[in-house]
Amino acid sequence: MKSDKKTVLVTGASSGIGLLVASRLHENGYEVIGTSRNPEKHQGKLPFKLLQMDLDDPQSIASFGKQLFGHIKQLDVLINNAGYLVNGLAEETPIEFGKQQFETNFWGTIRLTNELLPYFREQKHGKIITIGSLLGLVGLPNVSYYAASKHALEGYFKSLRFELSQFNIKVVMVEPMSFKTNIGESATVAEGTMGDYDQFREKIIAYTRKTFDDAPEPTPVINTLLRTVRESNPKFSYPVGKGASIVLLLQHFAYKVFEKSILKSINASK
Ligand SMILES: NC(=O)c1ccc[n+]([C@@H]2O[C@H](COP(=O)([O-])OP(=O)(O)OC[C@H]3O[C@@H](n4cnc5c(N)ncnc54)[C@H](OP(=O)(O)O)[C@@H]3O)[C@@H](O)[C@H]2O)c1
């Protein structure tokens, strides 16, 4: 029997945005299932159920898909949140780091979505909310592979939204600016290896550190996610963060002004 209580699956619910949104949804009466690569680490500490799922392992995604409906009777919303960051100047970042960034952020997210789509199609309703990034709409130095993986998600889900509208499945992207979570601490950082970049690298490392240090708590992201979960007819794109709309306007209508202001801030960093 289907219940009136909406069920939401949040990937990467052990930390940061995923943990906060899963907890808020639980407090608001939703049935919540979260995922982690190591759920045993968090056993008994969270108010919602945490299941094992590793985006890098197709087997783990497949077996997660099989066991999920042993734990819940219906699924209304999937929040694709799990992901991580590769930091480093583009030329200095080993291609393997870039491939791994895509394996997790892009391919893992697509695999998991595909695992659940037959269920959503059959029930003829559902919502897929993916956490992209403002870096999926804008490029910045030191995050080339991360930005590329998030741009790829934007393009993929923009196309998918057209294909799924006939099944009453809504597709949404939430694109946060920088917010305080564990993303900086768990980032993979490429070593500086090329002398030509020494000066710029020093500045960009200082700029990145300041961005993390000054980042606000992710409350606006959680509020936006709750809103997109509730809305019956959501838009595709929800950029979140102070100044996000200005950044997007500048990039579309005054790209050189945008570039100059970013380079000015980087050059002023110490
Ligand atoms: N914080 C920001 O400023 C910001 C800005 C824009 C977008 N985002 C996006 O927001 C999402 C959440 O990040 P966060 O900032 O909350 O970072 P976080 O605190 O580091 O949390 C990342 C979550 O993803 C999970 N995860 C990481 N790699 C995984 C993998 N291979 N398979 C399965 N789960 C994996 C982690 O779970 P386990 O380690 O337990 O497996 C953890 O719960 C990410 O997609 C990130 O790109 C963050």
Of 127, 126, 211, 124, the closest CA to residue 176 belongs to: 211
Mutation choice for ligand 1 from 15, 105, 173, CB with most ligand atoms inside 8 A: 15
Residue 193's pLDDT band, with cuts at 50, 70 and 90, is very high
Residue 191's pLDDT band, with cuts at 50, 70 and 90, is very high
What residues flank ligand 1, with Cβ below 6 Å? 12, 14-18, 36-38, 53-56, 81-84, 104, 131, 133, 176, 178-179, 181-183, 186, 215
The alpha carbon of 239 and the centre of ligand 1 are apart by a number of angstroms equal to 17
Q: Which protein residue's CA is at the shortest distance from atom 38 of ligand 1? A: 36
For position 4, what pLDDT does the model report? 73
For position 134, what pLDDT does the model report? 98
Residue 270's pLDDT band, with cuts at 50, 70 and 90, is confident
Mutation choice for ligand 1 from 45, 112, 183, CB with most ligand atoms inside 8 A: 183
| Three-state DSSP string of 67-86 | HHHHHCCCCCEEEECCCCCE
Ligand 1 atom at minimum distance from 135 CA? 6
CA distances from 207 to 22, 89, 140 (A): 31, 13, 11
For position 2, what pLDDT does the model report? 60
Ligand 1 atom at minimum distance from 176 CA? 6
pTM over 0.95: yes
For position 107, what pLDDT does the model report? 98
| β-bridge pairing 31-36 and 77-80 | unpaired
CA–CA gap between residue 67 and residue 61 (Å, rounded)? 10
Is residue 156 annotated as a catalytic residue, yes or no? Answer: no
Q: Which residue has the tokens 């029997």?
A: 1
Ligand 1 atom at minimum distance from 11 CA? 34
The alpha carbon of 97 and the centre of ligand 1 are apart by a number of angstroms equal to 16
Q: Which protein residue's CA is at the shortest distance from atom 45 of ligand 1? A: 83
Is pLDDT larger for residue 270 or for residue 98?
98
Residue 122's pLDDT band, with cuts at 50, 70 and 90, is very high
For position 1, what pLDDT does the model report? 55
For position 7, what pLDDT does the model report? 98
Q: Per the residue annotation, which of 146, 156, 197, 207 is the catalytic one? A: 146
Q: Say which CATH superfamily domain 7-195+217-242 falls into.
A: NAD(P)-binding Rossmann-like Domain (3.40.50.720)
For position 194, what pLDDT does the model report? 98
Average pLDDT over residues 93-100: 98
Q: What is the pLDDT of residues 197-230, one digit of tens each?
A: 999 999 999 999 999 999 999 999 999 999 999 9
Ligand 1 atom at minimum distance from 186 CA? 20
Q: What is the pLDDT of residues 25-67, one digit of tens each?
A: 999 999 999 999 999 999 899 999 999 999 999 999 999 999 9
Of the chain, the percentage scoring pLDDT greater than 70 comes to: 99
For position 163, what pLDDT does the model report? 98
